[in-house]
């Protein structure tokens, strides 16, 4: 699967004593800041490999623009500032980014850091009066997720979660078909999400920073996919964990989890989340009158799929480009997306993840 996991590098999170470094030399191109209301002006927090992908995709956005940077690595601030023409006054480190409160150039901050940092960073951004876009999973558990939702509500800012698949056209085609009854009564969903993880020292295998293992990173795609494909919220989960390498996957860091979900209508889902098996990126939705199969289903694309009516056809545009333009419309225009991307949506996934881990622990069904 070609995805975020394959590209991210280890993120430097230590910032104590780091100065703000952004050269004022001619490295910086002249920057024209769009007026508020027309373009969403975004500061990127965490300048790792996925942030690089987001930034490159945003270069062709119609309504979203990078205007600020937040990083714990001074050299990245210098390099990114030069590439994207970001002025020194819009560059921050993790110690001083609360000062964005006084920066009228920035409308929103896109948090692309390890999961364990999301809660505190989101709350700080909200207190600074800026909208928050946070990568998924939104937190390491539902308790933290709820704190994030509450903080953003209290501050009067929006909290959006980086669910890029919620804007992907072939995915939306399948969701529309289901809503229109073209599959008939939904009976079954299968989600397979996995890849072979590499570097054992990376933050994804650190319980404190990741909050878990494969379930937090890749399994969330099958959880979220089951919800928008079936069109219901699960009422129970069961789960079983398999760990073949306890040295690499230490306590609290799951290698492989098979999990099942039941829905009010009687539909069931059978899913797999793993860091041990490659090339797993498949959704299958089965109804009495038809089916949809997508493979790859959540990779960077192009997404490939078919239904009982034939191949799914739609132009492929970088997911992050579409996501950021759509999020601009949500924040600036109040647009309501077909599949929500708000904090409450992220919180629903966190509650299910918590239940899956609980089901593994007690080896029994957990009611939601």
Q: Which of the pair, 62 or 13, is modelled with greater confidence?
A: 62
pLDDT for residue 30 is more than 80:
no
Q: Residue 89: in which H helix or E strand, if any?
A: none
Taking only the tens place, the pLDDT of each residue in 246-296 is 999 999 999 999 999 999 999 999 999 999 999 999 999 999 999 999 999
* Confidence (pLDDT) at 62: 97
Q: Is residue 211 part of a domain?
A: yes
Residue tagged 């990779």 (tokens): 299
Average of per-residue pLDDT across 27-56: 76
Alpha-carbon distances, residue 226 vs 77, 189, 231, 352 (angstroms): 39, 6, 8, 11
pLDDT greater than 70 at residue 129: yes
* Residue keyed to tokens 């590439």: 83
The 3-class SS string of 256-285 reads: EEEEEEECCCCCEEEEEEECCCCCEEEEEE
Burial of 111 (0-12, 13-18, 19+ CB in 10 A): buried
Q: What does the alpha-carbon distance between residue 335 and residue 317 come to, in Å, rounded to a whole number?
A: 20
Q: Report how far residue 283's alpha carbon sits from residue 168's, in angstroms, rounded to the nearest whole number.
A: 14
Structure tokens at 291: 């089916």
Q: How far apart are CA 353 and CA 350, in angstroms?
A: 5
Q: Which of 163, 191, 217 is the last residue of a domain?
A: 163
Is there a single domain that holds both residue 29 and residue 102? yes
- Exposure of 342 by Cβ count < 10 A (0-12 exposed, 13-18 middle, 19+ buried)? middle
If asked whether residues 220 and 285 sit together in one domain, one would say yes
Domains in the chain, number? 2
Residue 289, class by beta-carbon neighbours within 10 Å (0-12 exposed, 13-18 middle, 19+ buried)?
exposed
Sign of the dihedral through C-alpha 331, 227, 207, 75: negative
CATH classification of the domain holding 45: 3.40.50.720
Task: Assign 3-state DSSP to the chain and report helix, strand, coil percentages, each to 5.
Answer: 35, 20, 45
Element (H, E) at 45: strand 40-45
Within a domain: 321: no
Work out the average pLDDT over 39-46.
98
Q: Is 60 exceeded by the pLDDT of residue 29?
A: no
275 flagged as catalytic: no
Provide the pLDDT confidence category of residue 27 given band limits of 50, 70 and 90. very low
Residue 256 maps to a domain = yes
* Statement: residue 23 has pLDDT above 60: no
The Cα 101–Cα 99 span in angstroms is 5
Which residue, 151, 108, 153, 163, is CA-closest to 131?
A: 108
Domain identity same for 260 and 363:
yes
Q: Are residues 159 and 170 both part of a single domain? A: no
CB 216 within 8 A of CB 349: no
Quick one: pLDDT at residue 37?
61
Task: Kindly report the pTM of this predicted structure.
Answer: 0.90
Grouping H, G, I as helix, E, B as strand and the rest as coil, residue 75 is helix
How far is 22 from 83, CA to CA, in rounded Å? 12
What's the mean per-residue pLDDT of the chain? 92
Do 157 and 179 have their domain in common? no
**Residue 246, SS3 per DSSP:** coil
Among residues 65, 119, 130, 136, which one is catalytic? 136
Nearest residue to 260 (alpha-carbon basis) of 287, 216, 223: 223
pLDDT exceeding 90 applies to what percent of the chain? Answer: 90
179 carries an active-site annotation: no
281 and 236 in a common domain: yes
Q: What distance in Å separates the CA atoms of residue 166 and residue 202, rounded to the nearest whole number?
A: 28
Query: From the candidates 110, 221, 228, 357, which is the catalytic residue?
Result: 221
Domain extent for 230: 165-315+343-367
pLDDT of 32 strictly over 80: no
Q: How large a percentage of the chain has pLDDT more than 70?
A: 90
Q: 233 is written with which tokens?
A: 């919220």
């Amino acid at each position: 699967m070609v995805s975020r996991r394959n590209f991210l590098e280890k993120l430097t999170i230590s910032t104590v004593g780091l100065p703000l470094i952004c050269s004022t030399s001619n490295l910086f191109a002249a920057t024209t800041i769009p007026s508020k209301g027309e373009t969403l002006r975004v500061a990127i927090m965490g300048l790792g490999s996925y942030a690089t992908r987001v930034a490159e995709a945003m270069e062709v956005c119609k309504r979203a623009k990078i205007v600020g940077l937040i990083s714990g690595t001074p050299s990245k601030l210098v390099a990114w500032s030069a590439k994207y023409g970001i002025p020194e006054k819009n560059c921050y480190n993790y110690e001083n980014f609360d000062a964005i409160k006084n920066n009228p150039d920035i409308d929103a901050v896109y948090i692309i850091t390890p999961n364990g940092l999301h809660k505190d960073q989101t709350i700080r951004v909200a207190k600074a009066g800026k909208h928050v876009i946070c990568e998924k999973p939104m937190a390491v558990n539902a308790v933290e997720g709820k704190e994030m939702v509450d903080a953003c509500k209290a501050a009067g800012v929006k909290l959006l979660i980086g669910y890029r698949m919620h804007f992907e056209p072939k995915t939306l085609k399948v969701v529309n078909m289901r809503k229109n009854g073209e599959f008939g009564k939904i009976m079954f969903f299968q989600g397979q999400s996995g890849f072979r993880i590499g570097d054992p020292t990376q933050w994804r295998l650190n319980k404190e920073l990741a909050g878990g293992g494969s379930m937090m990173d890749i399994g969330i795609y099958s959880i979220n996919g089951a919800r928008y494909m079936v069109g219901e919220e699960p009422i129970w989960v069961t789960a079983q964990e398999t760990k073949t390498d306890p040295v690499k996957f230490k306590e609290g860091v799951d290698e492989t989890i098979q999990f099942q979900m039941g829905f009010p209508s009687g539909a069931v889902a059978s899913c797999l989340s793993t860091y041990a098996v490659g090339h797993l990126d498949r959704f299958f939705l089965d109804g009495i009158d038809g089916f949809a199969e997508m493979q790859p289903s959540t990779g960077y694309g192009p997404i490939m799929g078919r239904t009982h009516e034939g191949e799914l056809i739609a132009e492929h545009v970088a997911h992050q480009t579409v996501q950021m333009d759509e999020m601009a419309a949500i924040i600036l225009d109040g647009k309501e997306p077909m599949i929500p991307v708000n904090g409450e949506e992220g919180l629903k996934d966190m509650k299910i993840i918590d239940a899956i881990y609980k089901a593994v622990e007690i080896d029994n069904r957990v009611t939601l």
